[in-house]
Amino acid sequence: MRQVWVAAALVGSLCVLAVGCNNNPYPEHDAELKVLYSAFSTPHRSLDPAEAYNVSAHRVTGLVYDTLLEYHFLKRPYTLIPGLAKQVPTAEPLEDGRVRYRFTLRPGVNFAPDPCFELGGAGRVTREATMEDVAYQLMRLADPALNVQVRDQFSNIQGFKQFHRALIERRGADPAFAALPAREQYAALGGVEGVRIEHPHALEITLHSPYPQILYWFAMEFTTPVAWEAVEYYDGEAGRERYADHPVGTGPFGIDVYDKRSRIVLDRNPHWYGLADPRAPGAHYPEEGAPGDAEAGLLDAAYVGRPLPFLDRVEFRLEKEGIPLFNKFLQGYYDSGGIIKESFDQVVQSERLSPEMAAREIRLQKAVSPGIFNLGFNMEDETLGVPAGDRGRKLRQAMSLAVDSEKWIELFLNGRGLPAQTPIPPVISGAPEGYLNPYRQVDLDRARALLVEAGYPDGIDPATGAPLKLTFDAYEVSSQSRPERQYFVDEWRKLGINVELSSTTYNEFQEKVDRGAYQIYFWGWSADYPDPENFLFLLSCAMRKSTTGGPNSANFCHPGFESLFNQMEVMEDGPERRAIIREMVAILEQERPWIEIFNGVGYSLAHGWLANVKPFGMSYPMTKYLDIDPVKRARVRLSWNEPVVWPVFAIAGMFVVGIIPGFRTFFRERQ
Amino acid sequence: MAPHVLSNAIVLLLLVAAGFALRFVRGNRMWRDALAQLWRRRRGSLLVIVAFLLVGLLDSVAWTGGQGQDALAAHEARTVIDRLFQGDREASYSAPLADAAFYGGDPLAAPGGHWLGTDILGRDVLHRTLKGARVALMIGGLTSLIAIPLALLFGISAGYFGRRIDDAIFFLISTLASIPSLLLLIALIMALGKGTWQVCLALGITSWVGLCRVTRGETLKLRELDYVQAARALGVSHGRILVRHILPNLMHLVIITFVLMFSQLVLSEAILAYLGIGVDGSWGEMIDQARNELSREPIIWWNIAAAGSAMFTLLLAVNYVGDSLRDILDPRTLRETP
């Protein structure tokens, strides 16, 4: 009978195991801490603030690196506030069209503790950041050795391009020079002319021509103070990491564990300037917000005016697949998450959270993203474009009137979009407010009348006697995305226009574009910074695809629009600029180089214990404003993840039943 | 010449060819017996194939004129099948035989009129499925038209003439056979561009090798037979021997391979559609489009179900007929059959 006892012990221990374990992936002792858990899907290639240029990397670098300017957490349209700088500078016009900005650094800005600071003196673990560190980073942006994707945007700084070229030349000509540490190379070349340090806390940036949008770049990590010690110490040799894998900054958090194949842990930076100076605009919770924020609980008295950050720790985990990530979110192991396409209808029902989700106190956040998707006409085309004169314009207007973008959004985006009226998304400061584009409201009768005026009655081209034939060039169209394009073709069919959907490979499409042999295309653009200029430049002469290879694939070049654009480009935001933008939009309304389709609306989910969630739309992490109720989280997680024990017993039972005949045979044979 | 005129002419040509083929079969005892036996064994499958052929032909006969679904349709050549399904375009999804739209529940333009529902753009699924039959038949037929002559030409010359020619052809075959066929297909389609002809050409180039090996082997055997030797001794020209003695004795192989290759080709196209390089309007494309619909909640099943069962039915029938044909025509099994 001993075997029976062994089997019983086995079953018993299985039961104990089943009851005692759970699926919590985190250590028990962290349960009481305010730890924010989120996920990343691919290891970051580089966290160097000069190189990192994607949403996923910014979610880490944005916590480690502070910037001179920041965006207001709540206000929309987006508003700049001082960060490390004492105030947002204004442009000072200089002689011969140059412009100067003066930044003043707050006192007491310190780097997060790191062993690299030993380079500056034995025993040192941190030091105060100065404008030298900002200037150093600006020079790094010009350094050809780094993969800087936004170098062009800084080229308005006087001497920036020259510095870039000088580095290339000296390094090529002089191997001894190239072997020096980068910092000494920069010093030997005398730095960038337009970047001047008056004293350790004052920086002057001189632009050779006006570029008001440069301030937005001072709110991105590209212009953060960077410690030369960190860059030189973390050189990837002798067992040290690369700087790209070991960020050291002045931000509210510092890297604690960086294992890019599994997890990234950030701890509070004990030397963060905000701890000593909680009244700084970027160091406490804002007192005012956008309309609707108070109702949404974002101006809770428990938070307003309180010093940041609220979290103790931020932890990112590698999560390669969407479905497990979403399941872990539903189990409470991630605090916020997106909605995967597969379960959209399960989570969101008629634009609201499903009752099942709402019962879990999950909140749905919607935010219009600063981007646009549009159909474009090639304005150099003989039939559709400028060469066709008034006929072409009327044809474009008619085609614009026929496309119902609301239904398109409904069908293909689950309603996650806003029908666009202008190229400028409504969340951008300076976008015309309350404007409805008369050519973006579906009106087939008017469209037909316009076709008659254009000389294509019922879509018949008098030259051939057959329906007007156009081509819609769509590249890399999969079977799934084909109906998304076919929809537009079907809309135009209602007018009697025969638009052929030509799907090609990307290379073939590029070739067509190079030859100018395309008529209609579908395209999208996402903002680098929240300024109308970042959208309207897509229609400026200088960006024409046909002449400069720029992103203006419509090849739109309108003298009136162009002169307004040149005026607008160098103006600061204000009523005058807005008036000009209105005029520009009015030109686009008539000219119709684009059929604006939609601005995306991002849906995200957050659990009830996560406070102060407001989607931002652009790639700036607002993590320092978040707060967590760890007690509630721990309790809810337990109740959502009660182990289901019966399958263990069932399997054990089946096992026992299964071996009984064996035992019986065994005993019988022995007798 | 407008494409629909060409298409109509081809249909006419096909019908005439079919008439001649029937006359030939009736006049030839062996073929007549084979057909009669096939009819006895696989009546259902044959009827299914004939039905698909009929749909394919009806979808190839087109003319302009008449009122259509929208302003443009009146100027387009529409086929008989198109004309059966006009004027009931919906806004979006609707379930089979439903009275209301699937999302939102708006009333339909043709309540209860869509036997297999409508797709995301509101197109009738039955209509699309029937149109897919023509595409499937075209893929099978056109590709066979490319592959079989190629295979016969190379196979017979390799087998009959031997030596250097055999070496060269066998080298070509082995090379082609050792390239992963999917890779070759993708490369060919990338080079040729997308479209029905291009896909058929690419499929043809990759699928003749099998038949070529078989014909080569068979020709090797036939070459040594007494009557061929006798013909050669009498000084009959090579061309005449090939046409009179070799080719007719390969015909049963050609027919069996054609039927079996056909189903393989239709399936290959579905895989190509999955890779995004299929033919517009094919069942493969419909299935590929419906991939994400299956993960919707509530599930939208009628697109994939319609295309999938149409493909399944056709291929099952073709395979049944192919198997029976092999039994009937293969000389080794010829005598055993009652």
Distance, CA of A397 to CA of A390 (rounded, Å): 10
CA A602 – CA A650 distance, rounded (Å): 44
Chain-chain contact of B121 with A343 (C-beta, under 8 angstroms): no
Amino acid at A638: L
How far does A41 lie from chain B, in Å, by closest CA? 22
Q: Distance between CA B21 and CA A480 in Å, rounded?
A: 42
Interface confidence: ipTM more than 0.85: no
Contacts of B72 in chain A (CB under 8 A): 459, 467, 493-498
pLDDT score recorded for residue B315? 92
Nearest by CB: B71 against A343, A483, A493: A493
Predicted pLDDT at A641: 87
Rounded to the nearest angstrom, the minimum Cα separation between B144 and chain A is: 26
Q: Which pLDDT value is given to residue A4?
A: 63
Residues A147 and A236 in one domain: yes
pLDDT, tens digit only, all 338 positions of chain B: 578 888 899 999 999 999 999 898 888 888 888 888 889 988 999 999 999 999 999 998 888 877 777 778 888 888 888 888 876 788 888 888 888 888 777 888 888 888 898 988 888 999 999 999 999 999 998 898 899 999 999 999 999 988 899 999 999 999 988 998 888 888 888 888 778 888 899 999 888 888 899 999 999 999 888 988 999 899 888 989 988 888 888 888 888 888 888 888 888 888 888 887 888 888 988 888 887 787 676 788 999 999 999 999 999 999 998 888 888 876 665 554 44
Do both A15 and A111 map to the same domain? Answer: no
Residue of B nearest to A491 (CA): B70
Q: Among A199, A221, A244, which residue terminates a domain?
A: A244
- Separation of alpha carbons A436 and A418, rounded Å: 12
- Residues A575, A400: contact at Cβ < 8 Å? no
* Whole-number pLDDT of residue A166: 92
Chain A residues within an 8 Å CB radius of B276: 476-479
CB contact under 8 A, A466 and B289: no
Q: Which residue of B has its CA nearest to A496?
A: B72
Cα–Cα distance list, A662 to A111, A426, B240 (Å):
70, 74, 76
The whole-model pTM stands at: 0.76
Local structure of B71: helix, strand or coil: coil
- Residue A617 belongs to a domain: no
Of A244, A267, A286, the residue that ends a domain is A244
**CB contact at 8 A, A254 and A269:** yes
Assign residue A511 the CATH number of its domain.
Answer: 3.10.105.10
Better-predicted residue by pLDDT, A285 or A431: A285
A227, A516, A536: which is closest to A381 by C-alpha? A516
Contact list in A for residue B272 (CB cut-off 8 A) is none
Same domain flag for A93 and A151: yes
**Same domain, yes or no, for A42 and A14?**
no
Query: Could you tell me which residues come within 8 angstroms of residue A99 by beta carbon, excluding any fewer than 6 positions away?
Result: A91, A92, A93, A206, A207, A209, A210, A211
Q: Tokens at residue A314, please?
A: 């931020």
Q: Which residues of A touch B (CB under 8 A)?
A: 341-343, 345-346, 407, 410-412, 458-460, 466-467, 476-480, 482-483, 486-487, 490, 493-498, 503-505, 508
In this predicted structure, what is the pLDDT of residue A523? 86
Q: Does the pLDDT of residue A403 top 70, yes or no?
A: yes
Structure confidence at residue A20 as a pLDDT band (50, 70, 90): low
Q: Given this model, what pLDDT does residue B333 score?
A: 57
Question: Tell me, what's the pLDDT at A437?
Answer: 92
Q: What does the longest C-alpha to C-alpha distance in chain A come to?
A: 112
pLDDT at A517: 85
The answer to whether the beta carbons of residues A269 and A253 sit under 8 Å apart is yes
Task: Find the mean pLDDT for residues A328-335.
Answer: 91
Could you tell me the CA-to-CA distances from A578 to A82, A421, A424 in Å, in that order? 24, 16, 12
- Mean pLDDT in residue range A485-505: 89
pLDDT at residue A509 in the model: 78
Please tell me which of A196-205, A333-342, B60-69 the model is most confident about, judged by mean pLDDT: A196-205
Q: Could you give the number of structural domains in chain A?
A: 3
Chain A hits for B91, CB-CB cut-off 8 Å, are 407
Chains A, B: CB contacts within 8 A come to 68
Say yes or no to pLDDT of A55 above 80. Answer: no
Looking at A159-287, list the stretches that DSSP marks H as alpha helix, in order from N- to C-terminal side. 160-173, 175-179, 182-188, 214-217, 228-233, 273-276
Q: How far is B296 from chain A (nearest CA, A)?
A: 6
Domain range for A182 is 38-244
Inside any domain, residue A48: yes
pLDDT digits (tens, 9 = 90+) for A614-668: 888 777 888 999 999 999 999 998 888 888 888 889 999 999 998 998 888 888 8
Q: Quick one: A521 and A652 in the same domain?
A: no
Beta strands A469-475 and A498-504 are parallel
A649 shares a domain with A596: no
User: For B285, which residue in chain A has the nearest alpha carbon?
Assistant: A479
Query: Of B190, B193, B289, which is closest to A479 when you measure between CB atoms?
Result: B289
Residues A120 and A221 in one domain: yes
- Shared-domain flag, residues A558 and A424: yes
Please answer yes or no on whether A479 and B298 come within 8 Å at the CB atom: no
Among residues A211, A244, A277, which one ends one of the domains? A244
With respect to residue A324, please indicate whether it lies within any of the assigned structural domains.
Answer: no
Does residue A598 sit in the same domain as residue A656? no
Flag if A490 and B92 touch (Cβ within 8 Å). Answer: no
Answer yes or no: do A496 and B278 touch at CB < 8 A.
Answer: no
Q: Which domains does chain B have, with CATH numbers?
A: 1-86 (no CATH), 88-122 (no CATH), 133-299 (1.10.3720.10)
Residue A630 counted as domain residue = no
pLDDT in tens, A554-604: 999 999 999 999 999 888 888 999 999 999 999 999 999 999 999 988 888
Is A625 among the domain residues? no
Per the domain annotation, does A132 fall within a domain?
A: yes
Residue B337, pLDDT score: 45
> What are the residue ranges of helices labelled H in A425-574?
444-454, 482-493, 506-515, 533-536, 545-548, 559-569
Classify residue A325: in a domain, yes or no. Answer: no
The answer on A482 and A578 residing in a single domain is: yes
Rounded Cα gap, residues A292 and A76, in angstroms: 11
Per-residue pLDDT at B338: 43
User: What does the DSSP 8-state code read for residue B244?
Assistant: I
Query: Is residue A277 included in any domain, yes or no?
Result: no
Q: What is the 3-state secondary structure (H, E, C) of A55-117?
A: HHHHHHHHHHCCCCEEECCCCCCCCEEECCECCCCCCEECHHHCEEEEEEECCCCECCCCHHH
Residues 6+ apart with CB under 8 A from A630: A31, A32, A33, A34, A35, A609
Identify the CATH number of the domain in which residue A60 sits.
3.90.76.10
**Per-residue confidence at A212, pLDDT binned at 50, 70, 90?**
confident
- Reported as a single tens digit per residue, the pLDDT across A371-385 is 899 999 999 999 999
Task: Looking at the structure, tell me whether residues A190 and A46 fall in a common domain.
Answer: yes
Same domain, A17 and A128: no
Beta carbons within 10 angstroms of residue B47's beta carbon: 12
The H or E element spanning position A315 is: strand A313-318
Find the CB nearest A483 among B72, B120, B273: B120
Q: State the average pLDDT over residues A317-339.
A: 87
